[in-house]
Amino acid sequence: MLYKSGGKKLLEQEMNNPSYWAGSLFNKDLRFGYFERALSLLTVNKDKGALELYTPDTRQQFSLKKRYSAFTGKNRGDKYIEGDLKTPIGIYTLTEKKKTVDPFYGPMAFVTSYPNLYDRIRGKSGDGIWVHGVPLSGSRDPFTKGCIAINNNDLLQLDKSINPSNTLLIIDSASKQWVKPTVYSTILASLYQWKSAWTYNDLETYLSFYDTSFRRSDGMNYNQFKSYKERIFAKYEEKSIAFSDINIIPYPGEKQNLFWITYNQLYSSESHQYKGEKSLLVRLNNDQSISILTEE
């Protein structure tokens, strides 16, 4: 009704206010973040040596389906360089299911997306971080070189319980502190404020959402990005931008104010068309504004 009576821009202005989002967060399960797209979650607590599987019901309420004992890297802390024997801290997807692996890794393995975008812009190195099993014969040390290892029967059960393409892996040293619903209202409103500035060619407001340390996935720094956007906005093209399936997840690690945002974007202008998934890493500032640190 709001759309018909006040038009598209009035609805967009409503979505720019945290109060618009507060109602949609009522009774929403926010233990792991804000999810519009249904995903299975694998969470790893390195301190407790545990991998847990959570699946959502039709109301997006997450329930614990299984808790597995897990081995992680020999050394404590976040992974930074290849060979440091540490399991990374971060948010990852499962990019591949390997049905045939060396018997040392058990019957199969899931390949993770380490290093992710945030890892790459920080210069982290190494790859081949898997969720795998234990040797089919013999024994092994109670730690890994950086992977996550669980009992073989547990791994096979996990394989039957998840769709890798629709599962997120969240790795942390310890359980993350719960985030208040008002934080998600603030971030959602800021996300739509950023979109509005983008849609209506308000370059100054649009750029104010970017931190000066910003680095895009292709390596473009803030000043390069600013020059690029100045050229784009100078065309004054009419744009249509739509977001859907937004997920906002507190980023694991010691910093408490970083959030990983993914969403599907539909972009249309005279010179460019785009449809696909986008990712942002943002910092929530003390004044309740957000700063975009990287995007892909």
Cα Rg, the chain, nearest whole Å: 21
Would you state the pLDDT for residue 3? 40
**H helical segments located in the chain:** 2-15, 18-22, 117-121, 152-161, 181-199, 203-208, 222-233
User: How many helices and strands in the chain, by DSSP H and E?
Assistant: 7, 13
Count of all residues that appear for the chain in the document:
296
Cβ neighbourhood burial of 211 (10 Å; 0-12, 13-18, 19+): middle
Residues 280, 293: Cα–Cα separation, whole Å: 8
Would you state the pLDDT for residue 7? 60
Would you state the pLDDT for residue 60? 83
Predicted model pTM: 0.93
Would you state the pLDDT for residue 129? 98
Under 8 Å between Cβ of 257 and 281: no
Under 8 Å between Cβ of 157 and 150: no
Single out the residue of 130, 133, 128 nearest to residue 107, CA to CA. Answer: 133
Bridge-based pairing state of the strands 167-172 and 40-45: parallel
Where residue 90 falls (left for φ over 0; alpha for ψ -120 to 50; beta otherwise) is left
Residues 61, 218: Cα–Cα separation, whole Å: 36
Under 8 Å between Cβ of 169 and 93: yes
| pLDDT string in tens for the chain (296-residue length) | 344 444 667 777 899 999 999 988 988 999 999 999 989 999 999 999 999 999 998 888 999 999 999 999 999 999 999 999 999 999 999 999 999 999 999 999 999 999 999 999 999 999 999 999 999 988 889 999 999 999 999 999 999 999 999 999 999 998 777 899 999 999 999 999 999 999 999 999 999 999 999 999 999 999 999 999 999 999 999 999 999 999 999 999 977 899 999 999 999 999 999 999 999 999 999 999 999 999 99
Largest CA distance in the chain: 71
